[in-house]
Structure 1
Amino acid sequence: MSGPPPTAQEAPAALSSIQHGTLQAPPSPQTHRALRRLHDATPPPLYQPTAASNARRSGVKKPVFSHGHLSLQQIIRDGPNDGDFIGALESARWKVVDEGVKAAEDGMSPLRIYVWLVLLDAPIMSTDEYLALIHRGASPAYAKIRNDTFRTLTTDPLFRRRVSEASLIRLLNAIAWRLHDSKEDERQSSRPGSSHSSIPPRDGVAGSHSGQSQAILEPGVYVQGMNVLAAPFLYAARSEAEAFVAFHSLLTRECPGYIRGAMDGVHRGLALVDKVLAIVDPKLGMYLTSKGLSAEIYAFPSVLTLCACTPPLPEVLRLWDFLFAYGPHLNIVCIVAQLTIMRSQILQSQSPNKLLRSFPQLNADLVKSITISIIKKIPDDVYEEIATHAM
């Protein structure tokens, strides 16, 4: 696909064919109301382990939640009973972790994107608001975006069949505009005597972390690799606007450190892969070290993309269900889990670097199971580092 983003006149027609020729029906007003009721719930303290997480760490078999008798679909569709927002949210989290999200063999599910929107605490966004970003044309990052999109999941036939490059370009260009706007807001508010000094960045980062330093609050920018991170959202969503708001929430609320400055959050995550591996499997960790292999060399794509770089895509979606319920920061442990799955091959190889250039096909259930077992072995201080590394 070549050429600039759709113009204001072309955009509505382009969006009418968002997911390969057909724009599926938008969610019903009832679904929007249910999503809003769950979004309006006071979320758990940022990066504190949920009840489900605590249960897994302590070995408790299965806690009882107020909405445990309802299916995940009922919780998402109808919202909380009797105003019990926290109970509904925790019940939904547990059901995602314990039962997963029902989906077809190709990973498609009419429920998944709404589960993600709730778990990511993404705001309701109108299509018109998304269109307004599209109408602005090429963003300052447009050349970088075009250099990335054509090589996104090129070997995955499911993704290539469902998501067009034009769709990916529009989404990333809209994200780049929103991040650009946040940068401009930050510049305005940092000027001495500025009338904007009390206005937080548009992406809401400042509102979530008001106690942190100005450097930490700096909005992110478009970085190479965001195309792969965006891909599962476009595949799972029923519209580009849904994919946009979920992706933007992930970037700005869950892992702003991945797209800020020198991508310090990613580098902290890579150091934690080495640290966790040394704790849970010292022999494997020392062997890789002896071969001069740190996570910086082999795990950068896996950290930045939350393992979306490892096929197959339906397994990535299932792993993301787990990460969004349990905390995207636990991708660090998921990477260590994949290393332990490869343990025998790595230890028997004189050149493990060749093995680590591409991880084996992702098995979400196996990775989740090993991840949960590893979590119990991680000291609290290291767990806290993992929980905050992407901020």
Structure 2
Amino acid sequence: MSISPLKETIPKLDPPNNTSLHPPPSPSTHRTLRRLKSAHVLGSSVSQPSLISQQHKQSLNRNFSPTRKVTNPPPGAHTRTRSNSDANVMSPALSSPISRRPQMKRASPVEGSTLDRLIRDGPTEGDLERGLESMRLKILDQGVKSDGDGMSSLRIYVWLVLLNAPVLETDEYLSLIHRGASPAYSKIRNDTFRTLATDPLFRRRVSEASLIRLLNAVAWKLHDAKGERSEVQMRLTNTANIYGSPELQHATPAKGRSRATTLTNDGSDAGKSEPGTYVQGMNVLAAPFLYAARSEAEAFIAFHQFITTECPGYVRGAMDGVHKGLALVDKVLAIVDPKLSLYLIGKGMNAELYAFPSVLTLCACTPPLPEVLRLWDFLFAYGAHLNILCIVAQLVILRNSILNSPSPTKILRSFPPLQADIVKEVTLTLVKKIPDDIYAEIVIHAK
């Protein structure tokens, strides 16, 4: 989260807003990048600048939100809105300690403000804290306006703001694509073809080639960051060897070399927390970003920001954040519903057996996709760590069916269709029951 809110009271959710929706633009007119490269020719060059590159020098209008002002195109020109993925970075000075609970108390929203107005014009009088608070409350009470397929021209910009996504020039994304196959390319290709394979909405709107390009670009970005950290570590090690670190001062040369190797490799805490470039499950995590975004560049910067700031522990080789999350699912369920917890344990069912996909993908593995998007609006507004409570909320909703079933494995093999509004409402009631120390564990488990 860019600015973690503080929680004091829990509001009751108002009935869903049934106001008329603005029809979103067709994704087919907003995915020009997909025609640049196929999945098999990532490294080939482009003979002419892309449309977005030609629009690169257009004047920008950025104030708090990533919205741009686009001039009218000449007759016959392509009318696709330029990628708005280069959102302004929120001021880190407004950040609050992550161990605090999100504040969901009622507050008088900015007068006359709506989500689209907040994104377009920014907060009244430049008050970022009040603007973000108003945005969160509107997401909680009304949600992001979308059609029956979950398509919204506003959602991706709300996500970019809430994730505090940095500025990204689209040419930077294109340069990552033009580098060709990353070291993780074969692993990516092994997963992309089965990403949300049974979801007709996703398969109709997002091509496999688009998903491959995005994941390959992210893999290059993580690969470069990993190389930079290795170079910094090497320079620090060389400096220590030249001037003599305390560990080496009284050691023999052979022992000194051995100790230096241990310090920089096996015994390095940084080495243990090094993120990989791709792990299985990142394909499903990336899918909603591509579905909601109006360009691959927007999806790229939002997804990269999410996995590197919100849940880096989920994409490490050992997936330690996911396993911590699974342990917390068991722990939270034992707190909020001891009877249900004991029944599942008695059947030999802990969270590792049924909740692994839901933890890893923030419930994106549970259809339908429009409901996943609505749940993600809530998670990005108040903290992705609340996904742990959302999973427990789904168990509580299924409580009677589970307790009355002699074999709950059949019920939990695949969760019933997601109902975002009900899950959110139950989650907000569960927040009150979690002790502060357990809640602090939930907040940091994915870091």
Same fold flag (TM > 0.5): yes
Runs of 5+ unmatched residues, structure 2: 1-36, 53-57, 67-85, 241-268
Question: For 1:214-233, what aligned pairs fall within 5 Å after superposition?
Answer: 214=270, 218-233=274-289
Cα deviation for residue 44 of structure 1 reads: 2.5
Cα deviation for residue 91 of structure 1 reads: 1.6
Per-residue CA shift, 1:318-337, capped at 9, x if unaligned? 00000000100000000000
Cα deviation for residue 378 of structure 1 reads: 0.6
In 2, Cα distance between the equivalents of 1:49 and 1:192?
A: 37
Which of residues 293, 310, 324 is equivalent to 2:366?
310
Which of residues 127, 136, 141 is equivalent to 1:93?
136
Change over 3 Å in CA distance of 1:256–1:101 after alignment to 2: same
Higher helix share: 1
In 2, Cα distance between the equivalents of 1:11 and 1:280?
A: 60
**1:172 is matched by which residue type in structure 2?**
L
Cα deviation for residue 3 of structure 1 reads: 5.4
Q: Say if 2:189 and 2:212, in contact at 8 Å, map to a contact too.
A: yes
Q: Say if 2:99 and 2:444, in contact at 8 Å, map to a contact too.
A: no
Q: Say if 2:63 and 2:121, in contact at 8 Å, map to a contact too.
A: no
| Match of residue 44 from structure 1 | 95
Change over 3 Å in CA distance of 1:193–1:329 after alignment to 2: closer
In 1, Cα distance between the equivalents of 2:405 and 2:271?
A: 43
Cα deviation for residue 90 of structure 1 reads: 1.9
In 2, Cα distance between the equivalents of 1:363 and 1:196?
A: 56
The alignment status of 1:164 with 2:207, answered yes or no, reads yes
Cα deviation for residue 154 of structure 1 reads: 0.8
Q: Say if 2:151 and 2:292, in contact at 8 Å, map to a contact too.
A: yes
| Match of residue 320 from structure 2 | 264
Cα deviation for residue 341 of structure 1 reads: 1.1
Q: Say if 1:68 and 1:91, in contact at 8 Å, map to a contact too.
A: no
**1:219 is matched by which residue type in structure 2?**
P
TM-score by length of 2: 0.75
In 1, Cα distance between the equivalents of 2:222 and 2:193?
A: 22
**2:410 is matched by which residue type in structure 1?**
K
| Match of residue 149 from structure 1 | 192
Question: For 1:243-254, what aligned pairs fall within 5 Å after superposition?
Answer: 243-254=299-310
Which of residues 44, 61, 82 is equivalent to 1:30?
61
Which of residues 155, 171, 181 is equivalent to 1:138?
181
| Match of residue 23 from structure 2 | none
Cα deviation for residue 117 of structure 1 reads: 0.3
| Match of residue 371 from structure 1 | 427
SS at match of 2:161: helix
The alignment status of 1:125 with 2:168, answered yes or no, reads yes
In 2, Cα distance between the equivalents of 1:388 and 1:277?
A: 18
Per-residue CA shift, 1:38-95, capped at 9, x if unaligned? 6333342252546xx334xxxx5x1235x35411111111112323122212221221
Which of residues 270, 275, 294 is equivalent to 1:238?
294
Indicate the structure (1 or 2) with the bigger Cα radius of gyration. Answer: 2
The alignment's C-alpha RMSD in Å is: 2.8
**1:110 is matched by which residue type in structure 2?**
S
**1:266 is matched by which residue type in structure 2?**
V
Q: Say if 2:214 and 2:300, in contact at 8 Å, map to a contact too.
A: yes
Q: Which runs of 4+ in 1 moved over 2 A?
A: 1-13, 27-50, 80-83, 192-197, 213-221
The alignment status of 1:355 with 2:411, answered yes or no, reads yes
The alignment status of 1:320 with 2:376, answered yes or no, reads yes
Per-residue CA shift, 1:211-265, capped at 9, x if unaligned? xx63576334310011010000000000000000000011000000111231100
In 2, Cα distance between the equivalents of 1:332 and 1:238?
A: 29
Q: Say if 1:255 and 1:390, in contact at 8 Å, map to a contact too.
A: yes
Change over 3 Å in CA distance of 1:104–1:92 after alignment to 2: same
Q: Say if 2:88 and 2:165, in contact at 8 Å, map to a contact too.
A: no
**1:127 is matched by which residue type in structure 2?**
T
Q: Say if 1:233 and 1:246, in contact at 8 Å, map to a contact too.
A: yes
**2:225 is matched by which residue type in structure 1?**
S
Which of residues 159, 180, 191 is equivalent to 2:223?
180
In 2, Cα distance between the equivalents of 1:121 and 1:374?
A: 27
Q: Say if 1:6 and 1:134, in contact at 8 Å, map to a contact too.
A: yes
In 2, Cα distance between the equivalents of 1:196 and 1:80?
A: 48
Q: Which stretch has the larger CA shift, 178-187 or 83-92?
A: 83-92
TM-score by length of 1: 0.85
The alignment status of 1:280 with 2:324, answered yes or no, reads no
Per-residue CA shift, 1:299-330, capped at 9, x if unaligned? 11100000000000000000000000010000
Runs of 5+ unmatched residues, structure 1: 18-26, 198-212
In 2, Cα distance between the equivalents of 1:218 and 1:294?
A: 28
Change over 3 Å in CA distance of 1:311–1:78 after alignment to 2: same
SS at match of 1:30: coil
Change over 3 Å in CA distance of 1:46–1:9 after alignment to 2: farther
In 1, Cα distance between the equivalents of 2:321 and 2:219?
A: 19
In 2, Cα distance between the equivalents of 1:270 and 1:41?
A: 33
Q: Say if 1:41 and 1:86, in contact at 8 Å, map to a contact too.
A: no
